[in-house]
Homo-oligomer: A and B are copies of this chain.
């Protein structure tokens, strides 16, 4: 029994071509923006319940990886999709330019401490994938190194999965023209100007290189236990909808149950 989000799932072994995915896609949902937003609100309420149960049960762990080019909406996703979720039990880790101590270790060293514990959801805003993306595009490491890292990523995610972590990876797929508009807004709109970073323009020059790097990374690391979704991200409401649908469906499948109270507690009288 599939849902409309299945079409965004990368099959393990599949060679991803991003040109096959329309970043403006919204049709598969079958509703308009208002209907989409209403559906996201419903999913959000369900997500709150499921997260509370996950936390109370303390058995499952969920890792959500968010990747995407500048302005693709990673921050917005966290704000909208996880709106109102109990922050105790949901940890967000944001991976920016590595610090000298981070660079002095292997590339998984800085992410490993941020994996979710039992009962937790960890959301990674960027991740270990940067080490096969920006490092590749800017030739900070050679090809032998970034290719070898695919294998290390697969092994690392297999470790997490084998030891009990559910993994979901979302690539926020934005079109080149949409990115242009969003960056322009950060210049034109005084309220968005705080987001402006002149490095974004330089990164934008490498747009096609990043797409190629993403295609390879997604193809090399999509696994049944660590799936990638290519999320159409030109429309914020649709991006939130797709991610919320996948999250809720995944948590529902975990069959989380609130732990039973102590036996006999129903007869207890507090005096």
A residues whose Cβ falls under 8 Å from a Cβ of B:
58, 61, 101, 104-109, 112-113, 115, 117-119, 145, 148, 151-152, 155-156, 158-160, 162-165
For residue A103, give the distance in angstroms from its CB to the closest CB of chain B.
8
List the B side residues contacting A151 at CB < 8 Å.
155
Closest residue of chain B to A117, judged by CB?
B104
Question: Which of B115, B117, B152, B163 sits near A159, CB closer than 8 Å?
Answer: B152
Contact yes or no, A106 B148, CB < 8 A: no
Q: Which of A109, A115, A158, A163 has the most CB of B within 10 A?
A: A163
Question: Which of B101, B145, B158 sits near A117, CB closer than 8 Å?
Answer: B101
List the B side residues contacting A159 at CB < 8 Å.
106, 108, 152, 155-156
Q: Complex Cα distance A117/B99, Å?
A: 12
Contact yes or no, B115 A113, CB < 8 A: no
List the B side residues contacting A105 at CB < 8 Å.
61, 115, 117, 163
Closest residue of chain B to A106, judged by CB?
B163
Closest residue of chain B to A118, judged by CB?
B104
Known A106-B115, A148-B162, A155-B156; further 7 A-B contacts with Cβ < 8 A: A104-B117, A109-B112, A109-B113, A112-B112, A113-B113, A152-B162, A155-B155
Closest residue of chain B to A162, judged by CB?
B148
Contact yes or no, B101 A109, CB < 8 A: no
Q: Which of A104, A113, A119 has the most CB of B within 10 A?
A: A104
For residue A216, give the distance in angstroms from its CB to the closest CB of chain B.
18
Q: Complex Cα distance A183/B118, Å?
A: 38
List the B side residues contacting A61 at CB < 8 Å.
104-105
Closest residue of chain B to A164, judged by CB?
B106
List the B side residues contacting A155 at CB < 8 Å.
151-152, 155-156, 158-159
List the B side residues contacting A113 at CB < 8 Å.
109, 112-113
Known contacts: A152-B155, A152-B162, A162-B152. The answer to whether A108 contacts B112 by CB under 8 A is yes
For residue A127, give the distance in angstroms from its CB to the closest CB of chain B.
15
For residue A30, give the distance in angstroms from its CB to the closest CB of chain B.
40
Question: Which of B109, B115, B117 sits near A115, CB closer than 8 Å?
Answer: B109
For residue A157, give the distance in angstroms from its CB to the closest CB of chain B.
10
For residue A140, give the distance in angstroms from its CB to the closest CB of chain B.
13
List the B side residues contacting A156 at CB < 8 Å.
155, 159
Q: Which of A61, A107, A112, A115 has the most CB of B within 10 A?
A: A112
Q: Complex Cα distance A107/B156, Å?
A: 12
For residue A89, give the distance in angstroms from its CB to the closest CB of chain B.
12
For residue A151, give the distance in angstroms from its CB to the closest CB of chain B.
8
Q: Complex Cα distance A171/B107, Å?
A: 28
